Amino acid sequence: RSYSVTGVQTCALPICSAIIIRTHGIEKEKRKLLEEKSVSVIDATCPYVTKPQQICEDMSLEGYQVIIYGDIDHPEVRGVKSYAGDRASVVLSLEEIKNIKLSPKVALVSQTTKKISGFLEVVAYLVENCSEVRVFNTICNATSQNQDAARELASEADLMIVIGGKNSSNTKQLLTICEELTRAYLVEDESELMPSWFEGVKLCGVSAGASTPDWIIQKIVNKIKNI
């Protein structure tokens, strides 16, 4: 049987053989609760996610106001924020940070899948408005490289097909990057491809989110070739 970690306080954990913590991680208090239960915990949290968790905890203990650049509703960000206690704010844009009362000492981390350009805007604003700023670039290298590759391909393509979950922050970032340069669509499987998209297209580029399985990508590529 499987259980949502969000309901960990009420589920019958003792009958579970194991609970898996997914890549995005979970909140600190929920992890602590799991550790107190007589259940095996398989921690699949990505190392790129545990890094900002630890930074937030350390910086908060040292008296810094923690700023997290990311989506407040994303499970990764909720988990990271929990390690900073009450001294954390989440912002998704330069405009949002302008509405926050800043302390003299600020530490900044990022959701792992965010674009570096937006992160740097927040960095610049903090440097101008705070006497001490600790900046930790916690954007995943693989994500940055994938975004750069998508940007380069989109600049040449007549059409971009982005493959991945429609609720994935990683995939939505890729779509946004591609749409800045050419026509682009986000699909989860080959059934969503529309032949009309490809009319007059000479070069179609394909990009995919970090966790998209290769077999899904191949099925979509094969259907594009058939079209």
CA-based nearest residue to 105, from 79, 127, 83: 127
Residue 38 DSSP class: S
Tokens of 151: 């940007």
Quote the Cα angle for 174-208-213, to 5°.
145
Which sequence positions are flagged as catalytic? 76
Mapped onto helix, strand or coil, the DSSP state of residue 94 is helix
Q: Tell me which H or E stretch contains 149.
A: helix 141-154
CA angle 131–83–86, rounded 5-degree value: 60
